Structure 1
Amino acid sequence: MSLSRWFRSCLVVACLLVAGPGVAQTAAAPVEGVDYTLIEDGRPLAPLDGRIEVVELFSYACGHCADLHPLIDPWQRRLPDDVRFTYLPVVYGNRDNLAAAFFASQALGTLERTHGATFDAMHRARRLPRNASPSELGWFYAQHGVDQAAFEAAMRDDATGQKLNAARDFLLRSGAQGTPTLIINGRYRIQARSLRGLLDTADALIARERAAAP
């Protein structure tokens, strides 16, 4: 089985196992093997420079990522200055259109307009198919004030290809088997059983990393 098909099947399994946002979560300290996995020889996405890194591995095609977005977006905006939060799309191949769209919009400085809108278009308004082509994505992003020609060029740009490769490498070394997944400092892979539980566990592990800092 190809990596793409394997990861897509894992994503489906993970989506079936993750409970909805209304499920109650205990306030107990997170437990390794239950709430998170310690990543052997894990490395952060970027140098920490004295900060704590939180990466959300997501896919625009994932319904649970769409459900998490209204929770995680305000949560990450309230994080203290010593925490660096990064959205990172999962990459199934060298030219994954949805992931390339994320990086293209990011490069153009329009991500604030397009990130949540892409989830809404795919899972609520049904205006974008899960296998959207570059031209379909370009048309949709143009509805949100993005220059379509510049956007489609950014999707094809070598810099976007490099970001796709780096995102795929991080995905593989993180060992994530579905979305959404949170990775703390490249060391902790959070596998909570509810969407709110992901954030509760992240809060606890952020505090743990802060306390352990020299």
Structure 2
Amino acid sequence: MFWYYCPHCFNVEPLVENWLKKLPESAVFIRQPAVFSDRWESGAKYYYVLEQLDEVDRLHGALFDAIHLYKTPFIDNEDFINWLVNNGVDQAKASNALKSFSVRIKVNKSKLNTVKYKTSGVPTFVVNGKYWVDTKHAGGEKRLFKVLDYLIQKESQ
């Protein structure tokens, strides 16, 4: 679980991308935004809009960069739509995705899963719905992926 405004999530994202290249075919990685409060909903909406528009691969990292490197202010949905348009997304498609029922449902599911998975912070990784791993409890960013690999291997046996 992650949040676009989290500096730790931003820092670990390139490591996640490298790790995903080595993920076993038997494992499925599902990104899910955490939603602890209303304030966190915008980040979840942004992710699910990218997902609905099939733009996650192209714009997920760029959105992290916009927030953390370029300090792009996303005060409201219009700011996000404008950012999408500036990145080559059709305005009507972006606006419709943001207002869509499926995005609302996925944001609500993220809220429920944030509680269900007993998430206390981000980034957090859940393996097979059983194991919750974060950098603190894994002993750092490098060790995080060793722990995840171990748990994935354990669960695939």
How far the C-alpha of 1:151 sits from its partner, in A, is 1.1
TM-score (structure 2 length as normaliser): 0.90
Q: Secondary structure at the match of 2:30?
A: strand
Aligned residue number for residue 76 of structure 1: 20
Q: Confirm or deny: 8 A CA contact 1:94 1:164 kept in the other structure.
A: no
Distance 1:78 1:128, change over 3 A: farther
Q: Which residues of 2 match residues 116-155 of structure 1 at below 5 A?
A: 116-129=61-74, 132-155=75-98
C-alpha deviation, 1:59, in angstroms: 0.2
Deviation at 1:95, TM superposition (A): 8.3
Provide the rounded CA distance (Å) in 2 between the counterparts of 1:113 and 1:164. 21
TM-score normalised to the size of structure 1? 0.67
1:206 aligns with 152
Letter in 2 for 1:194: G
The question of whether the paired residues in 2 share the 8 Å contact of 1:94 and 1:165 is answered with no
CA distances 1:53-91 after superposition (whole Å, capped 9, x unpaired): xxxx00000001000111001211321210000110112
Higher helix share: 2
Contact 1:95 1:164 in 2 (8 A): no
Q: 1:198 to 1:128 in 2, by over 3 A?
A: farther
Q: Which residue pairs with 1:15 in the alignment?
A: none
Equivalent residue letter for 1:122? I
- Deviation of residue 145 (structure 1)? 1.3
- The match for 1:12 is none
Q: Which residue of the partner structure matches residue 41 of structure 2?
A: 96
Give yes or no for the alignment of 1:180 onto 2:123: yes
Q: Deviations over 1:92-112 (max 9, x none)?
A: 339812211110111111111
Unpaired segments ≥5 residues, structure 1: 1-56
Check whether the contact 1:138–1:151 (CA below 8 A) recurs between aligned residues. Answer: yes
| Equivalent-residue separation in structure 1 for 2:95 and 2:22 (angstroms) | 33
The alpha carbon displacement at 1:137 in A equals 0.7
The superposition leaves residues 154-197 of structure 1 with CA deviations (integer Å, 9 ceiling, x where unpaired) of: 11111111111111111101001000000000100013231222
Higher strand share: 1
SS in 2 for 1:189: strand
Q: Quick one: distance in 1 between partners of 2:148 and 2:40?
A: 30
- How far apart, in 2, do the equivalents of 1:181 and 1:197 lie? 14
Runs (4 or more) in structure 1 with deviation over 4 Å come to: none
Query: After superposition, where does 1:13-32 map in structure 2 within 5 Å?
Result: none
Q: Which has the higher contact order (CA 8 A, sep 6+)?
A: 1
1:64 aligns with 2:8: yes
